[in-house]
Chains A and B, each alone.
Chain A
Amino acid sequence: MARASTLHRRPAPMGAGRLLARVALGSTGLAAILLLLVYPLVSFLLLAVFPGLFGQSGQGFSLAAFAQALDGYALQSVLNSLAIGLSSGALAVGLGLYVSWLTQRTTLSVRRLVDGAVWLLLLTPSYLLAIGWLVLTQHGGLLNQAGLHWGWLEAAFSGPIGVALVLAVKHIPFAYLAIAPSWNTIGGELEEAAQVHGIRGGQATLLLAKLLLPAIAAAFAVVFAEALSDFGVAATLGASSNVPLLTYSIYRALYANPLNFPLAAASSWILLALAGIAVWAQARVNRRAAAYAVLSGRGRLARRVVLGGYGKAVAWFSLGLLGLVALAIPALATVFMSFTKVLGDGLNWANLGLDNYQTVLRQGDLLGPLTYSGMLAGLAATTALVLALVLASVLSSGSRLARGLDVVLLGTLALPGLVLAAGYIFAYNQPFLPLYGTSLLLGMAYAAGAMPSSSRILLGPLTQLHHSLGEAARVHGVSGLGVLRRITLPLLAQPLLYAWLLAASGIVFELPASELLYPPGQPPLAVALLKSVHNFDFGLSTALEVVAVAIVVGTVWLIRAVVTRLLPPNWQRRLNEQHSH
């Protein structure tokens, strides 16, 4: 038969080549995860039960570290972390839901405003928020000096409530970014169906919440993990209000004499276990909820609610209040502090001036570290983003590999940067992997640190891309690379740009890996900033922070403006925008 002979004549170069490429891509991603995250983390975590590893003074197998990590006081920090993680998670998700509903489902024109605020908040280090509120509310703080003695506010901020509140506010962006795209996937008809069938008020909200449950679960898991891993708030508000948190226990065990690496490792395990709860809960929710509609090539219009006068008033008031709590108050307090000459002299005009900023300008030796960090941040953020894109596409596949990956990534999110950085020393200060002390390793650590959250951020936009968009392109002769260039990249350009900016600006200020891994003689910005402030000169340090944040926000804005100008217009349309108006 003619056909049978063709069967033998044609071998399969194309098929094999493509398969090879796919396997290569997959294994590159896997290798990156193993080298950047798993190997160093496991190295460190093993110390919990094998305290004698890496030349440390311990022997054999022991569970003593876990006993220590769960004794009275340390147990308190576990419980505190759990309670604060849960409450700030719930609060952030609730607020994220409300704000995303306002931007996605009402005619209120706040989209740009909220998006701007969300990114600003993402760029702001958590300790700045905490310090802002501390400066304002502590006993003898700005409020007191202004003659306002609001005991309840002081009490709230010198206890767990303040810690949970600041952590929740700081992490609203994560909840918002995780939930916002989902509003488009549950078409307005569903809401209308509820209305038509007389389901109103609380019941309707409940119905909607059930439809949004996968997004809510994802948002909660991320916020919970991020809140658990937060160190900035733990070290400032938490520390000054005697609310010991797990991250701070880890910090203590790692940095305070007598050092106790096994204890830090055991506490890290506990932190991982707590994050595991969130992962498990999310997986359960996802298993129950069918993965329903995503953005397809079918341009369906989402219906928007026209808010009445009362609804508008509530919306504006709550957004204003959020803006005040999340950005305006901490920013003002910090800026105010940076203008204060002598802190002990308190609130008066004579005590305000530019002295601290003049000192900042004299810190000429910060230019080198700034350039170095900027360059490393650019490279590491690019690497992180490429890997994050690969990871996000694996995650969005929903395979078993994806679930495993999700656990690893969320676990990494939950561990403070300190643990990863310390793990890098153990893992890479080895004769067979002598990378410790090189810029390469520091860059790897930066990329590893940025990767989990970047992939989380890209996951939303990526899952919105209906697979038929790519299939349509390939069937019509567009190659795999062409699909990436013509379809995927243009549709993901905006989220990619933002994720890159976020990763890069986070890296510029990253402290723990910078401290533990920087090459001798080549300090990164965070280390240099820390050094240029002696003896708790708060005025100077806040001035430095204000300048640094201003530089970074300015750079981010500049890059964004330039890139937006360079991008072809159809790359700038956002997925969500095609569903609005």
Chain B
Amino acid sequence: MSSIHIEAAFKCFGSVKALDRVSLTAQPGEFVVLLGPSGSGKTTLLRAVAGLERLDGGAIWRGEELVEAPALGLHLPPEVRRLGMVFQEYALWPHLTVLENVALPLRERRLGSWRELAQEALEGVGLEALTQRLPHQLSGGQQQRVALARAIASHPQVLLFDEPLSNLDAQLREELRLLIARLTHQHSITALYITHDQSEAFFLADKLGVMREGQLLQFDRPEVVYHRPAHPFVARFTGAQGGLEAYQEGLRLHLNTMVVQQQAARTGRMRVYFRPESLRLHHQPHPQALLAVVSHCAYQGQHYQSWLMLEDATLVQAPSPQRLQAGERVWLEPHPDHLFVFAEGDE
């Protein structure tokens, strides 16, 4: 088992800071997910760990071994970093069969048991019957399973995932993310996984990092990120809504007509976010609730999901046990403990 430690990673592309002093540690056997929109620097960070991108500053350790340190002129090439990686575009070698694709890295490392290892990896992803096929004869999901088998075949201690599921449809995504979670835990692999899909991130992560514009805004257990986002962007990107204007005076937060008691005293203009499931719906006026007009309601199986327009024209979602009519007036009561309050200008 091996850890990954990144210290103040810095990288510029021209005048754009792709990585702005990012530090994080993935403990041995830990599954770390980096979540962020495109251009947030997560891909650059992953590629730097793989050795496919050179940092401009900072350092990367794999266990106790320093693998990247531009200040020392140190850059271990990818092939000696002993990693596994799964690419967004699968990156299967089109001229090799499924078995050969999985076996090539093993044979390159002169492992005598390459055939057994490859076979075992393919069984692990359920493709033992297709070993002689060529990549273009497989479906997208099958191709990504081959890529996964290739990455785990040599039992690497560290596995990198570059948005591996983004090219697949919903059902396959769910199937494969389960497979990935199972395989990595089974082999106690330290994983670094990047994605822009929050549900994927929460599903897989032991530790979750949220990135924006080259900066790591928060890095913590997914539960903490979900319940205590450290930054308005983290709140928004993990599904919180609102961004309502508010004013706090000491411990009292004034939100529209509501007054909510806060635990930390401060004074100034605030922005308030909340998660859909923390809203309670009232059909009558309520002192601790916000007035909203139903704009759309959709059936979701167990409940209904409604899109509601607040007085300041902010659109929010809330679950409801029954169907609401468009144009209907309702009152939304946020759970006071589940409000995310950020000082205005924290962005």
A: which residues have CB within 8 A of B? 2-3, 6-7, 10-12, 14-16, 18, 295-299, 301, 466, 468-469, 471-480, 482, 486-487, 490-491, 570-571, 573, 575, 578-579
5 more contacts with CB within 8 A, not counting A297-B90, A482-B108, A491-B95, are A6-B61, A15-B76, A475-B51, A475-B81, A477-B82
Q: Which stretch from B65-73, B179-187, B192-200, B322-330 is at the chain A interface?
A: B65-73
Question: 20 A-B pairs, CB-CB below 8 angstroms?
Answer: A6-B65, A10-B69, A12-B74, A15-B74, A295-B94, A297-B135, A298-B89, A299-B134, A468-B89, A471-B52, A472-B87, A472-B93, A473-B104, A475-B160, A476-B150, A477-B79, A490-B95, A570-B96, A575-B94, A579-B136
The residue in chain A whose Cβ has the minimal distance to the Cβ of B80 is A14
B74 touches A297 (CB 8 A): no
**What A residues does B76 contact at CB under 8 A?**
14-15
The residue in chain A whose Cβ has the minimal distance to the Cβ of B72 is A12
A298 touches B143 (CB 8 A): yes
Q: Which of B64, B74, B105 contacts A473 (CB 8 A)?
A: B105
A477 touches B108 (CB 8 A): yes
B90 touches A298 (CB 8 A): yes
B136 touches A301 (CB 8 A): yes
Q: How far is the CA of A163 from the CA of B48 in the complex (A)?
A: 56
A469 touches B91 (CB 8 A): yes
The residue in chain A whose Cβ has the minimal distance to the Cβ of B49 is A475
Q: How far is the CA of A264 from the CA of B78 in the complex (A)?
A: 53
Asked, given contacts A10-B66, A296-B90, whether A476 binds B85 with beta carbons under 8 Å apart, the answer is yes
Q: Is B341 an interface residue (CB 8 A)?
A: no
Within 8 A of A (CB), among B125-166: 134-138, 140, 143, 147, 150-151, 154, 160
**What B residues does A579 contact at CB under 8 A?**
136
Q: How far is the CA of A14 from the CA of B167 in the complex (A)?
A: 36
**What A residues does B52 contact at CB under 8 A?**
471, 474-475
B89 touches A18 (CB 8 A): no
Interface residues on B, range: 35 or more
Summarize A's interface: helix, strand, loop or mixed.
helix
Asked, given contacts A299-B138, A471-B52, A578-B94, whether A476 binds B74 with beta carbons under 8 Å apart, the answer is no
A471 touches B91 (CB 8 A): yes
A478 touches B95 (CB 8 A): no
A476 touches B105 (CB 8 A): yes
Q: How far is the CA of A571 from the CA of B95 in the complex (A)?
A: 7
**What A residues does B105 contact at CB under 8 A?**
473, 476-478
The residue in chain B whose Cβ has the minimal distance to the Cβ of A13 is B74
Q: Is B291 an interface residue (CB 8 A)?
A: no
**What B residues does A571 contact at CB under 8 A?**
95
Minimal beta-carbon separation of A477 from chain B (angstroms): 5
B7 touches A3 (CB 8 A): yes
A479 touches B93 (CB 8 A): no
Asked, given contacts A14-B75, A297-B89, A299-B135, whether A475 binds B94 with beta carbons under 8 Å apart, the answer is no
Q: Is B77 an interface residue (CB 8 A)?
A: yes
Minimal beta-carbon separation of B200 from chain A (angstroms): 19
Q: How far is the CA of A481 from the CA of B73 in the complex (A)?
A: 22
Minimal beta-carbon separation of A544 from chain B (angstroms): 42
Contact digits for B93-110, partner A, Cβ 8 Å, 1 yes 0 no? 111110010001100110
B79 touches A297 (CB 8 A): no
The residue in chain A whose Cβ has the minimal distance to the Cβ of B92 is A297
A475 touches B74 (CB 8 A): no
A570 touches B100 (CB 8 A): yes
A7 touches B87 (CB 8 A): no
B: which residues have CB within 8 A of A? 5, 7, 50-52, 59, 61, 64-66, 69, 72-85, 87, 89-97, 100, 104-105, 108-109, 134-138, 140, 143, 147, 150-151, 154, 160, 167
Q: Most chain-B Cβ atoms within 10 A of its Cβ — which of A2, A18, A298?
A: A298
**What B residues does A474 contact at CB under 8 A?**
51-52, 77-79
Q: How far is the CA of A12 from the CA of B54 in the complex (A)?
A: 14
Q: How far is the CA of A11 from the CA of B109 in the complex (A)?
A: 25
Minimal beta-carbon separation of B11 from chain A (angstroms): 16
**What A residues does B104 contact at CB under 8 A?**
473, 476, 478, 486
Asked, given contacts A6-B64, A486-B104, whether A466 binds B89 with beta carbons under 8 Å apart, the answer is yes
The residue in chain B whose Cβ has the minimal distance to the Cβ of A570 is B95
Asked, given contacts A468-B91, A472-B91, A487-B93, whether A18 binds B77 with beta carbons under 8 Å apart, the answer is yes
The residue in chain A whose Cβ has the minimal distance to the Cβ of B5 is A3
Q: How far is the CA of A508 from the CA of B85 in the complex (A)?
A: 48
Q: How far is the CA of A187 from the CA of B51 in the complex (A)?
A: 31
Q: Which of B74, B82, B134 contacts A578 (CB 8 A)?
A: B134
**What B residues does A298 contact at CB under 8 A?**
89-90, 92, 140, 143, 167
A297 touches B93 (CB 8 A): yes
Q: How far is the CA of A486 from the CA of B59 in the complex (A)?
A: 31
B73 touches A299 (CB 8 A): no
**What B residues does A297 contact at CB under 8 A?**
87, 89-94, 135, 143, 147
Q: Which of B72, B79, B95, B109 contacts A475 (CB 8 A)?
A: B79
**What A residues does B74 contact at CB under 8 A?**
10-12, 14-15
Minimal beta-carbon separation of B347 from chain A (angstroms): 31
Q: How far is the CA of A303 from the CA of B95 in the complex (A)?
A: 20
Q: How far is the CA of A579 from the CA of B95 in the complex (A)?
A: 12
B89 touches A476 (CB 8 A): no
Q: How far is the CA of A471 from the CA of B48 in the complex (A)?
A: 12
